[in-house]
Structure 1
Amino acid sequence: MNISRRAALAAAFVLGLAGTASAQVTLKYGHPNPNESIGGQFANRFAELVKEKTSGSVVVNVFPSSQLGTAKERFEGVQFGLIDFGHDSYSTVGQAVPDFGALDLPYLYRDVEHAVAATTPETSPVARELNERLKSEAQMEVLGTFLYGIRELTTSNYPVRSPDDLAGKRIRAIPVPVWIGMVEGMNAIPTPVDFAELTTALATGVIDGQENPLTAILTSNMYDSQKYLILTDHMINIIPLFVNSASLARLSPEQQTAIRDAARQAGQDILAISVAEHERLKTDLAEKGMTVISTEDGLDLEAFRTRVSEHVRAKFPEWASIIEGIQALR
Structure 2
Amino acid sequence: MKRRRTPSRIRRSVAAIVAVPVIAMSVACAPGAGPAGSTTLALAHTVDTGHPIHRCGVESFVSHVEQRTGGEITFDVFPSGQLGNEQELADNTVWGDLDVTQPSAGHAAEYFPPLSVLNAAYLFDGYDDLQQVADSPVGEELWAGLRAETGLEVLGVWPQGIRQVTTSAAPVRTPEDLRGVSLRAADSPIWVANALALGAAPTPMALDELYAALQQGVVQAQENPVNLIDSNSYDEVQRYLSLTDHVVQGNPLVINGARWASLTPEQQEIFREAGRISAERLRACLEQDAETITAGWRQDGSMEVIDDVDREAFRDRAEQEVVPRFDDQWNGLYQRIRSELEDAS
Superposition TM-score tier, normalisation by shorter sequence:
over 0.9
- In the alignment, which of 306, 321, 324 is matched to residue 293 of structure 1? 306
Note the 1:218-257 alignment, pairs <5 A: 218-257=230-269
Amino acid at match of 1:304: F
- In the alignment, which of 27, 34, 38 is matched to residue 41 of structure 2? 27
Note the 1:306-321 alignment, pairs <5 A: 306-318=316-328, 319-321=330-332
Structure 2 unmatched ranges of 5 or more: 1-10
Q: Which moved more, 1:6-15 or 1:143-152?
A: 6-15
Aligned-partner SS, 2:212: helix
RMSD over aligned Cα atoms: 1.8
- In the alignment, which of 190, 194, 211 is matched to residue 206 of structure 2? 194
Asked if 1 retains the 8 angstrom alpha-carbon contact of 2:89 and 2:103, the reply is: no
- In the alignment, which of 105, 130, 150 is matched to residue 90 of structure 1? 105
Structure 1 unmatched ranges of 5 or more: none
State the alpha-carbon separation in 1 of the partners of residues 164 and 150 from structure 2: 32
Q: Which residue of 1 aligns with 2:80?
A: 65
Asked if 1 retains the 8 angstrom alpha-carbon contact of 2:32 and 2:41, the reply is: no
- In the alignment, which of 59, 69, 83 is matched to residue 44 of structure 1? 59
Asked if 2 retains the 8 angstrom alpha-carbon contact of 1:143 and 1:243, the reply is: yes
Amino acid at match of 1:302: E
Amino acid at match of 2:239: K
Deviation at 1:136, TM superposition (A): 1.7
State the alpha-carbon separation in 1 of the partners of residues 30 and 226 from structure 2: 34
Amino acid at match of 2:47: N
Aligned-partner SS, 1:35: coil
Deviation at 1:239, TM superposition (A): 1.8
- 1:20-55 deviation per Cα after TM superposition (whole angstroms, max 9, x unaligned): x73111001111111111222211221111111111
Query: Aligned pair 1:302/2:316, yes or no?
Result: no
Asked if 1 retains the 8 angstrom alpha-carbon contact of 2:121 and 2:318, the reply is: yes
State the alpha-carbon separation in 2 of the partners of residues 321 and 314 from structure 1: 10
Please give the TM-score of this superposition, normalised by the length of structure 1: 0.92
Aligned-partner SS, 1:49: helix
- In the alignment, which of 259, 262, 277 is matched to residue 265 of structure 1? 277
State the alpha-carbon separation in 2 of the partners of residues 280 and 38 from structure 1: 13
Asked if 1 retains the 8 angstrom alpha-carbon contact of 2:198 and 2:314, the reply is: yes
Asked if 2 retains the 8 angstrom alpha-carbon contact of 1:28 and 1:61, the reply is: yes
State the alpha-carbon separation in 2 of the partners of residues 320 and 133 from structure 1: 14
Residue identity (%): 32
Query: Aligned pair 1:13/2:40, yes or no?
Result: no
Query: Aligned pair 1:79/2:91, yes or no?
Result: no
Aligned-partner SS, 2:123: coil
